[in-house]
Structure 1
């Protein structure tokens, strides 16, 4: 089966109050909600989602994909309204509201519920954080990689496809600060081809350990991701986190980010001023 016929489906957890799934844990669901919905944190997440995560997805050279944005049913109405406004011009996007539940089982259930054809056809799945970006040709390259790997897909229920070259970047009032990065199995620009009737999804696995569970194919030929680096990253909430040296983009860098990720550095400056 050609990848052009496969459903491409992505999932983004937008401050969903899962039970588990965070590196920083909380004693109660109320404590988790308080952390997730703190005004300063939500302002940053909404701005990074609008200016970093969504532009590249909206500009995909292959627009044939589905993008699920998972939120809590308890997400305050004002934030829900802003999310809906951000995706009003993105027909691929759908907000999925769920009660708090165990992280991996509920994400698996959401993806499987949104597979077309009753999951009787193979699918191409990817995960996406709300402060990360993928290149504008990510979906196209994802499909091409699946075709490149047709022999593996014929023999294995799951095959990971990883694009490991891109940038670590932070949005600031002065614009994007960034540094080139090679990050195998990081989670952004990482996908999985899944056979028909296979119930496991990309959200069943720790992304850093996908190569321990299935064959993987890696591409390093072009910049395919931007990993968001900011004060509210879940991975940066613990002590002894390694610092990353970032530098402002020059004009060539700004042009490259606009061409690869549809990220407008002037919009970043306005949004984070």
Structure 2
């Protein structure tokens, strides 16, 4: 069992109006769609998706992966066209449209639709549309899976948690960051899934993953960026203070460009308008 031959699948919900799956609750699907598709919120999501999420995926040292983007069939055409344009030069991207449905059921069907027929496990990861992974994430994920092959053989699901990264807030001045080590945050968290297992990475609460499967926790290198803005789902139901961040200096900007392919000058340009 060689991880070089395992399929790697990333999944991102781009303002998909799921039933469940949000910390913010709404009384109806139309109410949720109105919240998700509000112009101010959508502009923020496009900015972070363009400046944080996509650049490191385009620069992966191992380009053999699938990036599945889930949208609602109700996504307005201007947003749909803008999203397609952003993904046009990412050959790994697959856009799937879905009607509103129960979150975990829809995500399971979505990811199973792109799984290849294989006797090997798939390596599945999830990202929000303001998160990023390092440019060597897919490569390091395969290496980690190779290191724990006996564990993967014995278990239907095995978590792989790269737990060191940054909280980052983009703005007209650049990128403010804070280095963190956090267990079971969604960016850079993956699950090795056996071929005939019906559930996938989105069918488990990321914060409780270790209750359902063994989890390998890896630290020592910065593997993720967790975007922070006023539209983070986790911030809508709690009285949370913004995290303290420090603006990247020239050296920090160079590191972010090298490690995440995130260009602080591009961030400034996007947020200056």
Deviation at residue 242 of structure 1 after TM alignment: 4.3
Aligned residue number for residue 105 of structure 1: 105
User: After the TM superposition, which segments of 4 or more aligned residues of structure 1 sit over 4 Å from their partners?
Assistant: none
Q: Which residue of 2 aligns with 1:250?
A: 249
- Number of residue-to-residue matches in the alignment: 272
1:233-244 residue pairs with structure 2 within 5 A? 233-244=232-243
Q: Please give the secondary structure, in 2, of the residue aligned with 1:141.
A: helix
Counterpart of 1:160 in 2: which secondary structure? strand
Q: Distance in 1 between matches of 2:188 and 2:172?
A: 26
Deviations 1:27-84 (A, max 9, x none): 0111100000000000000110001000001100000000000000000000011111
1: CA distance, partners of 2:119 / 2:140: 23
Q: Which residue of 1 aligns with 2:50?
A: 50
Per-residue CA deviations over 1:171-223 (Å, capped at 9, x if unaligned) read: 10101011101111001000011111011101000001111110111110100
Match of 2:124 in 1: 125
Aligned: 1:195 with 2:194: yes
TM score, norm. by length of structure 1: 0.98
Residue of structure 2 in register with 1:78 after alignment: 78
The Cα shift of 1:239 comes to: 3.0
Shift of 1:243: 3.1
Q: How many angstroms does 1:11 deviate by?
A: 0.5
Provide the residue aligned with 2:165 in structure 1. 166
Secondary structure of residue in 2 paired with 1:116: coil
SS of match in other structure, 1:97? strand
CA deviations 1:158-178 (Å, max 9, x no partner) are 100000000000110101011
> Are 2:204 and 1:205 aligned?
yes
Alpha-carbon distance, 1:120 to partner: 4.1
